């Protein structure tokens, strides 16, 4: 969908239900598939109320914000209105998935080497 992760979001129909959806970046470090149509915040379910933060321009979970600051309408996750899209909405398509089993031996070696280097530089100083 997006070539550039900082680029504008693209509205596209869901391949299961033809409802318009959009991938948006969240303040919590991930991407989620949202319905384009906004819903009333009062009638939305807990855990499925989101809004765009004006300062950061990232999507935030309204359940983490004071209720007095909630907007009248909110974004909702598409996976709840179209269960068939659940697997598609779990991962942003253009982002590589991390392997289930990760070999950390190289990481541990590099950490040990940098730690040893810091020790020797602090002793010589």
pLDDT in tens, 29-70: 888 889 998 999 988 888 899 999 888 889 999 988 888 888
Q: Closest Cα to residue 24, out of 3, 10, 38?
A: 10
User: Distance between CA 42 and CA 73 in Å, rounded?
Assistant: 8
- Please write the tens of the pLDDT for every residue from 97-106: 545 555 667 7
Residue bearing tokens 């979001």 = 9
Residue bearing tokens 């999507």 = 59
Q: What is the pTM (predicted TM-score) of this model?
A: 0.61
């Amino acid at each position: 969908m997006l070539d550039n992760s900082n680029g504008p979001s693209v509205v596209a129909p869901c391949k299961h239900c033809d409802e318009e959806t959009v991938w948006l970046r969240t303040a919590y470090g991930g991407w989620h598939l949202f319905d384009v149509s906004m819903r009333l915040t009062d009638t939305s379910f807990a855990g499925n109320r989101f809004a765009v933060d004006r300062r950061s321009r990232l999507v935030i979970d309204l359940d983490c914000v004071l209720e007095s600051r909630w907007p009248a309408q909110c974004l909702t996750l598409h996976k709840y209105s179209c269960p068939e899209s659940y697997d598609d909405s779990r991962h942003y398509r253009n982002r590589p998935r991390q392997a289930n089993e990760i070999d950390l031996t190289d990481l541990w070696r590099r950490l040990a080497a940098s730690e040893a280097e810091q020790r020797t530089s602090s002793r010589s100083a």
